[in-house]
């Protein structure tokens, strides 16, 4: 396992040892199949979440569907 | 009145509509905002008969991920989620939001709205048109919230909108359809479905939209802020069916004066 990385998730700084984006999503208590992720300003296709490595300094936006009109 | 009934079902049997290759029987689209809770929301959707619901795209709750989520109550496998761009004030924000929505949901049918100002929530048509072009080029099927302007509606269609959705009145106002003439002109000129989106406050106004020839109606606040949202959802379902039937039936001509319904001959 790699050392803890410093990342930004939805504007919040945090430390994580997750190896991939999917690992991070699970670490946050969320299901990868219910969210969408922007990784350093680029959409991370859902099919690649298990494969994209998380790097030190990465910036992520994690969103999902909520009620709206 | 003893006119012979020819329609025995609740509505014309094969009166479905199509948007971007997807066919729906319900012409009512409902929002999922402003409800007391998800359970009430789900019950209202059920009562409305809607097959499409609009949803917003927002950041996940990192501090409390165990909170219930919309998908736990309204199953996206049974009800089509139409992701919106509510709260976006530029084309770029809206495009970014829908790219994420496509990843979250896995579908291309989306609702585009680019707002011009917070006070009226009127659409910014310059940004809306720009976003429509970009989205259409990226393979999205944008249903587009717009002003009730027949020229703007046509321009959106040319830019790749799969449906145009003019406001009846400002979002959340419940003021009803303010300009029936422009809605009718949009319907007459459109080659894609037209849905009144925003402004409907009660059932008669939903029926009115359908009587003008619209393909459907989209609403949120009228149901969510009713005293009894589930009953209002049902009222809206019937209003849309009634308005559609009235449109298809072709209304009588109006007269300036009375015309008796009973024969004058044989009067005692």
ipTM of the complex: 0.91
Q: Which tokens sit at A4?
A: 């803890």
Q: Per-residue pLDDT tens for A6-65?
A: 999 999 999 999 999 999 999 999 989 889 999 999 999 988 999 999 999 999 999 999
Residues 6+ positions from B233 with CB-CB distance below 8 Å:
B30, B43, B44, B45, B46, B47, B48, B223
Per CB-CB distance under 8 Å, the chain B contacts of A43 are 99-100, 103
**Do residues B124 and B115 touch, judged by C-beta distance below 8 A?**
yes
Q: Per-residue pLDDT tens for B175-214?
A: 999 999 999 999 999 999 999 999 999 999 999 999 999 9
Test B100 with A9 for CB contact under 8 angstroms. no
Q: pLDDT band at B14, cuts 50/70/90? A: confident
Query: Would the pLDDT of B240 be above 80?
Result: yes
Q: pLDDT band at B106, cuts 50/70/90? A: confident
Q: pLDDT band at B38, cuts 50/70/90? A: very high
Is B180 one of the catalytic residues? no
Per CB-CB distance under 8 Å, the chain A contacts of B96 are 38
Test A66 with B70 for CB contact under 8 angstroms. yes
Work out the mean pLDDT of chain B and round it to a whole number: 93
Minimal-distance CA residue of chain B relative to A9: B62
Q: pLDDT band at B100, cuts 50/70/90? A: very high
Mean pLDDT of B97-110: 92
- As to burial, measured by CB atoms within 10 angstroms (0-12 exposed, 13-18 middle, 19+ buried), residue B84 is buried
- 3-state SS, residue B19: strand
Residue B24 DSSP symbol: E
Query: Would the pLDDT of B105 be above 90?
Result: no
Mean pLDDT of B237-253: 97
Q: What is the pLDDT of residue B9?
A: 52
Per CB-CB distance under 8 Å, the chain A contacts of B109 are none
Query: Would the pLDDT of B3 be above 80?
Result: no
Query: DSSP string covering B70-129, please?
Result: GGGTS-TTTSEEEE--TT--SHHHHHHHHHHHHHHH---EEEE--BS-TTT--B-HHHHH
Per CB-CB distance under 8 Å, the chain A contacts of B172 are 69
Q: State the nearest Cα–Cα gap between A65 and chain B, in angstroms.
A: 5
Q: Per-residue pLDDT tens for B121-153?
A: 999 999 999 999 999 999 999 999 999 999 999
Q: How far is CA B21 from its chain centroid?
A: 17
Query: Would the pLDDT of A2 be above 80?
Result: no
Q: What is the pLDDT of residue B96?
A: 95
Test A64 with B104 for CB contact under 8 angstroms. yes
Minimal-distance CA residue of chain B relative to A44: B103
Chain A residues within 8 Å of chain B (Cβ atoms): 9-10, 12, 28-30, 34-38, 43-46, 61-69
Q: How far apart are CA B181 and CA B166, in angstroms?
A: 12
Query: Would the pLDDT of B11 be above 80?
Result: no
Query: Would the pLDDT of B2 be above 60?
Result: no
Residues 6+ positions from B268 with CB-CB distance below 8 Å:
none
Q: What is the pLDDT of residue B258?
A: 93
In this structure, which long-range contacts are made by residues A26-29, counting pairs with CB atoms below 8 Å and at least 24 apart in sequence?
A28/A62, A28/B60, A28/B62, A28/B65, A29/B65, A29/B66
For the domain made up of A5-64, the CATH class stated in words is alpha beta
**Do residues B85 and B97 touch, judged by C-beta distance below 8 A?**
yes
Q: How many CB pairs under 8 A join A and B?
A: 102
Q: State the nearest Cα–Cα gap between B59 and chain A, in angstroms.
A: 4
Q: pLDDT band at A3, cuts 50/70/90? A: confident
């Amino acid at each position: 396992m790699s050392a803890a990385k410093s990342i930004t998730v939805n504007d919040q700084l945090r430390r994580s040892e997750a190896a991939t984006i999917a690992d991070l999503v699970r670490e946050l208590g969320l299901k990868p199949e219910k969210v969408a992720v922007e990784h350093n300003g680029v959409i991370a296709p859902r099919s690649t979440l298990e494969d994209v490595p998380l790097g030190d300094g990465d910036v992520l936006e994690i969103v999902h569907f909520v009620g709206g009109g | 009145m003893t006119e012979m009934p020819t329609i025995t079902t609740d509505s014309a049997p094969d009166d479905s509509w199509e948007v971007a290759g997807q066919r729906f029987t319900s012409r009512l689209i409902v929002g999922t905002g402003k409800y007391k809770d998800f359970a009430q929301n789900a019950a209202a959707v059920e009562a409305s008969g809607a097959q499409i619901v609009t949803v917003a795209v927002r950041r996940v709750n990192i501090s409390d991920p165990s909170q219930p989520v919309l998908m736990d109550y309204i199953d996206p496998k049974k009800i089509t989620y139409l992701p919106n761009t509510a709260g976006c004030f530029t084309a770029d924000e809206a495009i970014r939001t829908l790219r994420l929505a496509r990843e979250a949901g896995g579908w291309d049918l989306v609702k585009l709205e680019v707002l011009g100002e917070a006070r009226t929530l009127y659409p910014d048509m310059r940004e809306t048109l720009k976003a429509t072009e970009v989205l259409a080029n990226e393979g999205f099927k944008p249903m587009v919230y717009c002003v009730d302007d027949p020229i703007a509606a046509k321009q959106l269609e040319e830019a790749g909108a799969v449906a145009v959705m003019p406001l009846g009145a400002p979002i959340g106002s419940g003021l009803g359809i303010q300009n029936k003439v422009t809605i009718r002109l949009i319907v007459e000129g459109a080659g894609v479905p037209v849905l009144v989106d925003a402004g409907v406050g009660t059932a008669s106004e939903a029926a009115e939209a359908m009587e003008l020839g619209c393909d459907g109606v989209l609403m949120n606040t009228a149901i969510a802020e009713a005293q009894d949202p589930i009953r209002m959802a049902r009222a809206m379902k019937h209003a849309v069916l009634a308005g559609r039937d009235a449109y298809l039936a072709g209304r009588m001509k109006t007269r300036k004066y009375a015309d008796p319904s009973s024969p004058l001959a044989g009067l005692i």
